[in-house]
Amino acid sequence: MTSIDKLIEHTIRADVRNIASYFVPDASGYIKLDAMENPYQLPEGLRAVLGQRLADAALNRYPVASYATLKQKICAGLGVPAGYDVLLGNGSDELISIMATAIARQDRKAVVMAPTPAFVMFARSAQFAGADFVGVPVKPDFSLDLPAMLAAIDEHKPALVFLAYPNNPTGNLFDADDMVAIIRALGETGIAVVDEAYQPFARKSFMGRLPEFSNLVVMRTLSKLGLAGIRLGYLSGDPKLLEQFEKVRPPYNVNVLTQVAAEFALDHLDVLDSQAELLNLERSRLAGELAALPGVEVFPSAANFISMRVPDADKVCSELRDGKVLIKNLGKMDKMLANCIRVTVSTPEENTAFLNALKASL
């Protein structure tokens, strides 16, 4: 063993040493349909104005610590109820990590729970924070198994339950009444986080229901709406709960360039919303054409991606990769997703390129 290996063994946690890094394939030269990005940029005129704003940003200064203007624009433009504030994150990934850190008590193991298959960062953040992750399988149609969820809540007393609405990687919206039953069951012992990363496409939200439940937190991101590059997530919930999470948030976690770009984008939400509308139309077209392909089982989606089962997901993914089309193979994620793939809904041209490549592979 070399001295660096010894150093690592002495210093780095075993569970960190034993896992692989979050894998992001190199996408240069590919049609990139694996990460739910919006394929459209802001229109050229707006980009020129944004360029000037970014050039004027005071890069020599720390961000304004209160983020008051940005928060005010989020609250006013994105349906945050009156009297509720937001917590900002460097992407919602950071917010997930902040919440997991805040609940990971030392005197006994805290539990983070989610219906599975789920967004990978729920379990990862729980692990890194030192909490246990308990996944509760959804039903074969990907709906919530409510009795199983309620039994697991009773058994494990989770401090945090993530419900992605719609769910990633399946794309479906859980039944809202089932979600309410879970929020109520958690009551005073657990926090329910409704992760609305795909709200711009689903157009359904629990944000307006925050005043009904003091243990409800609603989390969103600008990533899927078209600003994945700036990394900005936000969440809202009871002000007293937010105050606790706020203590864990690293100061200045949202940088000046993100702040300027987000404020600008929020002044032009109509542009982003109409891009989302276009993508929703393409989602319908793509889903229809996929459903007509023999051997393809398309799952209903309220998000900007479509998941489906194919006869041989490994073969499809590798042949598409050879054809320079990058999609996500879900097969290794969960046994429920054997032979499943996920594709981001993109421009009509890129969607057609995907369809043609898929047809050729099938």
Enumerate binding residues for ligand PLP (CB under 6 A). Answer: 36, 91-93, 119, 164, 168, 195, 197, 221, 223, 228, 233
Shortest distance, position 119 Cβ to ligand PLP, whole Å: 4
Shortest distance, position 205 Cβ to ligand PLP, whole Å: 14
Identity of the residue, 167 or 361, whose beta carbon is nearer to ligand PLP in the bound complex? 167
Identity of the residue, 170 or 361, whose beta carbon is nearer to ligand PLP in the bound complex? 170
Instruction: Return d(Cα 233, Cα 125) in angstroms, integer.
Output: 16
Instruction: Return d(Cα 257, Cα 25) in angstroms, integer.
Output: 26
Instruction: Return d(Cα 95, Cα 249) in angstroms, integer.
Output: 8
Shortest distance, position 92 Cβ to ligand PLP, whole Å: 4
Shortest distance, position 186 Cβ to ligand PLP, whole Å: 19
Instruction: Return d(Cα 86, Cα 265) in angstroms, integer.
Output: 17
In the numeric block, which tokens belong to residue 57? 């940003």
Shortest distance, position 149 Cβ to ligand PLP, whole Å: 17
Instruction: Return d(Cα 193, Cα 200) in angstroms, integer.
Output: 18
Beta bridge partners of 163: 194
Look at residues 180, 221, 215, 177 and name the one whose alpha carbon lies nearest to residue 199.
221
Identity of the residue, 34 or 195, whose beta carbon is nearer to ligand PLP in the bound complex? 195
Structural contact between residues 112 and 103, judged by C-beta atoms closer than 8 angstroms: yes
Identity of the residue, 156 or 224, whose beta carbon is nearer to ligand PLP in the bound complex? 224
What are the φ/ψ torsions at residue 10 (nearest 5 degrees)? -75, -25
Identity of the residue, 146 or 163, whose beta carbon is nearer to ligand PLP in the bound complex? 163
